[in-house]
Amino acid sequence: KKHSDAVWKRFHDACDYFFEQKKKVTGNTRAAEQANLKAKLELIDRLKAITPDMPREEAIARFKEVQAEWPAIGHVPFKD
């Protein structure tokens, strides 16, 4: 019984450590994804600012800028 309790405590402590570390990483990932979401929403606003009466070359240039920036931003939250 004594050894069993000691082994269980070591196992439980190891699990606690693992999940604490995972929580730190997940928290950082979520913060980065929220920042990415904000950046992508800003790109969408820039696309919405392109109007039909804008010179064609300017509209195409703005679209291509957004198109190039989009994948560089990174992942966004799945459920937001």
Look at the pTM and tell me if it is higher than 0.85: no
The reported pLDDT for the residue numbered 28 is 79
Condensed to tens digits (0 to 9), the pLDDT of residues 8-45 reads 999 999 999 999 988 887 777 888 999 999 999 999 99
* 3 state DSSP class of 61: helix
Residue with tokens 């990483």: 25
Domain range annotation of the chain: 2-73
- 77, 37 Cβ separation under 8 angstroms: yes
Q: How confident is the model at residue 73 (pLDDT cuts 50, 70, 90)?
A: very high
Q: What are phi and psi of 19, to 5 degrees?
A: -70, -30
| The predicted structure's pLDDT at residue 25 | 78
